[in-house]
Structure 1
Amino acid sequence: MRTRAKICGITRSEDVLAAVHAGADAIGFVFFEASPRYVSILRAQELARSIPAYVSIVGLFVNADQDEIIRVVDQVPLDILQFHGDETAEQCRQIAQHTRRRWYKAIQVQPDVDVVPAILQYRQAGASAILLDAWHPELKGGTGQQFDWSKFPSLEIPLILAGGLKPENIEDAIRITQAYAVDVSGGVESAKGMKDRQLIEQFMQGVQRGSAKYESQQSGG
């Protein structure tokens, strides 16, 4: 199965066009004010106008309350909610129910901690996927760090790989983890919040090569 890819932390219209042109399956907007990649509702509305059909719009939230998320959803055409904080499975489920949006949860992979129980808990609550990111004691993603990919679980659940991905390592990342999808932000930037068109293209080419190699292995080619 083809590996999907999301370019997250988009803040400029030219970066939307670069991601779409390169073949990204999803665009991510960060609605977390502490992030250097934060976009306001107004800015997200402007950027969303450049996103064509068949490219999903993902809204990333970190410990946001339900009213705040509803306010965003009412004004920005989000397809999917990404919970990237300390939200419980029940909180995610309730917010998704009120917003009528699909959702997935980001889980930080800590050394020597089994993430499978948490994955199953959120999946049971209705998550359409689980994103696995590198652990950091203070930051909620966007660290540029990667975890031990050999610890990536093998489950019959759509799992998204994030953390430290870039054009130079994406093929190995897909080969090792066999992830359903990959999520990149800093790895395709020239500066925080500013994507680099060439890096996006190189990353997506790597995704395509890695996905093709995995498909070949599965088919015995």
Structure 2
Amino acid sequence: MSRIPVKICGLKDEAMIDAALEAGAEMIGLVFFAKSPRSVSLVEAARLADHMRGKTQIVALCVDMPLADMEQMVAQVQPDILQLHGTESTETCAQVRERFSRPVMKALGVSCAADIEAAFAYGDVIDRFLFDAKPPKNSDIPGGNGIRFDWTLLRDTKLPKPYMLSGGLDASNVAEALRVSGAPAVDVSSGVESSRGVKDPAKISAFLRAVRGAHMQD
């Protein structure tokens, strides 16, 4: 059995990237969304991407980013994967995938079974799903809110593409989340932070250990 891939999202400095690399994260996410406390500029992102290139997969998280802006970002940062975390349509996902010749991961908010069913429409135009909890009604940030959804909604679901589980995960509950959902991969952001937008190397390490420990028990 291959080990469960882990994505650490919203890193903003080399020290935290080094902590994630040392812990063994298969993916590291850079956030390009100004309203997020985890957002980085193109200049910062390019420097951070160069620091980790070849050591992990670089994921660029975009929220309804115009294609012209995405083209500039891709040219400067050269990410491995494009994560679309807004209200992007199937047509937009297909266009991004074709235009930039990179895998597309589409994030979808979940609060009920119908949200999982809605994901099937994206099956032909993306490479991976990311299921996150829907944000609170008063939030203008689509992810990284530390909210979980009912993991049993994913149990035994036969999706057309692989997926990552996100939303409210941390070292204390990720093993349960994997067991209940059967998720093949996980994503974490707020669950490895000491304060909003500030990553904690000890929490990153603990999260990866918890995932690896859960995998060994399977």
Which TM-score tier does this pair reach, normalised by the shorter chain? over 0.9
Moved over 3 A (4+): none
Secondary structure of the structure 2 residue equivalent to 1:142: coil
Q: Distance in 1 between matches of 2:116 and 2:18?
A: 36
Q: Distance in 1 between matches of 2:55 and 2:201?
A: 21
Counterparts of 1:93-108 in structure 2, within 5 Å, are 93-108=94-109
Instruction: In structure 1, give the amino acid aligned to 2:29.
Output: G
Task: Check conservation: 2:116, 2:154, Cα contact below 8 A.
Answer: no
For residue 155 of structure 1, the aligned residue among 152, 158, 173 is: 158
Which residue does 1:30 correspond to in 2?
31
Q: How far off its partner does 1:49 sit?
A: 2.1
Task: Check conservation: 2:21, 2:55, Cα contact below 8 A.
Answer: no
Q: Distance in 2 between matches of 1:118 and 1:129?
A: 14
Q: How far off its partner does 1:116 sit?
A: 3.5
Counterparts of 1:19-168 in structure 2, within 5 Å, are 19-111=20-112, 113-125=113-125, 127-136=126-135, 137=137, 138=139, 139-153=141-155, 154-156=157-159, 157-168=161-172
For residue 185 of structure 1, the aligned residue among 184, 189, 199 is: 189
Which residue does 1:206 correspond to in 2?
210
The total of aligned residue pairs comes to: 212
Task: Check conservation: 2:7, 2:187, Cα contact below 8 A.
Answer: yes
Give the TM-score normalised by structure 2.
0.93
Instruction: In structure 1, give the amino acid aligned to 2:214.
Output: G
Q: How far off its partner does 1:9 sit?
A: 0.2
Q: Distance in 2 between matches of 1:9 and 1:158?
A: 22
Q: Over the residues paired in the alignment, what is the CA RMSD in angstroms?
A: 1.3
Q: How far off its partner does 1:52 sit?
A: 4.4
Secondary structure of the structure 1 residue equivalent to 2:16: helix
Deviates more, 1:159-168 or 1:43-52: 43-52
Q: How far off its partner does 1:54 sit?
A: 4.6
Give the TM-score normalised by structure 1.
0.92
Q: Distance in 2 between matches of 1:181 and 1:143?
A: 19
